[in-house]
């Protein structure tokens, strides 16, 4: 293989309807198409960052299967992921609760608690309806040693790009330490 090429597996988590698929599609295609369906899938994109080829593998997960009220993160997902993005909708407090539950589950199950995580508050374009303050999101991230971004998958590509690139930096740092 190409020694300059780095593979990074990124798992997107969070409640239903928070914009996991919108963020994934925005990152992969730079576009926002509005409706996404509920397909659980892994997508790839190769980027050149600072002269290095990065292959992003992105697992756009489903929070609950049909008929279930909630779901837990599978062992397969936990094993697979090099980094995680936990998404909530800043206008939906229950989705913020889901992020906290999923964080607890990751911390309980994952042996090296060092898996890098970024918490993303999505739908910033709707922030006049917000029910979770930026301060709350930032405090949760700080207390859990996670990154934190507020973005709008609907409005901007750049903020979404920053999230994925920051996570790759964190994954590379983690690998260098191990």
Q: Provide the 3-class DSSP secondary structure of residue 114.
A: coil
| Tokens at 178, concatenated | 């191990």
Q: Stretches 3-11, 16-24, 46-54, 88-96: which one binds Mg ion (CB under 5 A)?
A: 16-24
Contact call for residue 140 and ligand GDP (CB under 6 A): no
Q: Which of residues 40-99 bind ligand GDP (CB under 6 A)?
A: none
Which CB sits closer to ligand GDP, 12 or 54?
12
Residue 152's binding partner out of Mg ion, ligand GDP, none, with CB under 5 to 8 Å set by partner kind: ligand GDP
Contact call for residue 137 and ligand GDP (CB under 6 A): no
CA 130-132-138 angle, to 5 degrees, is 130
CA distance to 17, 19, 23, 76, 137, per residue, from 141 (Å): 21, 19, 19, 25, 6
Q: Stretches 31-39, 43-51, 111-119, 166-174: which one binds ligand GDP (CB under 6 A)?
A: 31-39
Contact call for residue 144 and Mg ion (CB under 5 A): no
CB 163 within 8 A of CB 24: no
Element (H, E) at 54: strand 52-60
Contact call for residue 21 and Mg ion (CB under 5 A): yes
């Amino acid at each position: 293989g190409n020694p300059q090429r780095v593979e990074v597996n990124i798992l997107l988590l969070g409640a239903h309807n928070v914009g996991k698929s919108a963020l994934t599609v925005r990152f992969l295609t730079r576009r926002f198409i509005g409706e996404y369906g509920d397909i659980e899938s892994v997508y790839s994109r190769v980027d050149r960052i600072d002269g290095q080829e990065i292959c992003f593998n992105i697992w756009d997960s489903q929070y609950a299967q049909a008929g279930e009220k909630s779901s837990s993160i599978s062992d397969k997902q936990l094993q697979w992921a090099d980094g995680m993005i936990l998404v909530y909708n800043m206008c939906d407090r229950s989705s913020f609760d889901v992020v906290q539950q999923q964080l607890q589950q990751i911390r309980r199950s994952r042996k090296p608690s060092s898996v890098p995580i970024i918490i993303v508050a999505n739908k910033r374009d709707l922030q006049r309806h917000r029910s979770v303050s930026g301060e709350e999101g930032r405090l949760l991230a700080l207390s859990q040693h996670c990154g934190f971004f507020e973005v709008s998958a609907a409005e901007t590509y750049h903020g979404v790009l920053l999230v994925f690139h920051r996570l790759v930096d964190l994954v590379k740092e983690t690998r260098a330490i191990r």
